[in-house]
Amino acid sequence: MPMEPKESESDTAADAFVCINCDSPSSSIYQEYSKDVIRITECKKCGEIVDKYVEYDIVLVIMDLTLQYISAYRHLLINTKFKLLNDPVFGQTFASP
């Protein structure tokens, strides 16, 4: 019996992400089949992986941002969902991925 995939990032909005290569909309970055099994989504337009930075260490993403790769900026600004955290001690709000 085949496993049913779950959508990535728990977003139900269609086309909530973009391909970092060609900027075409995508409904998911990866599909989660079980706790340990995921499959990276391929772009329907260009055939490349929608967001390769999902698998990358943050240091490599920062290096690509420093080198001003547009794909790294698309990953950070469009495909990464931030949560706001409130600090009860200082009363400040911080962004967290």
pTM above 0.75, yes or no: no
The residue type found at 92 is Q
- 88 domain residue, yes or no: no
Q: Which helix (H) or strand (E) holds 85?
A: strand 83-86
- CA atoms within 13 A of residue 39's CA, in its CB half-sphere: 11
Q: How many domains would you assign to the chain?
A: 1
pLDDT of residue 17: 94
Please report, for residues 4, 6, 33, 44, 49, the alpha-carbon distance to residue 82 in angstroms, rounded to integers and kept in the order given: 27, 20, 24, 26, 22
- 38 domain residue, yes or no: yes
- 2 domain residue, yes or no: no
Residue-wise pLDDT tens for the chain (97 aa)? 444 545 544 444 567 899 999 999 999 999 999 888 989 999 999 999 999 999 999 999 999 999 999 999 999 999 988 765 565 665 665 555 5
Query: Which residue range(s) make up the domain with 44?
Result: 17-79
- 39 domain residue, yes or no: yes
- 73 domain residue, yes or no: yes
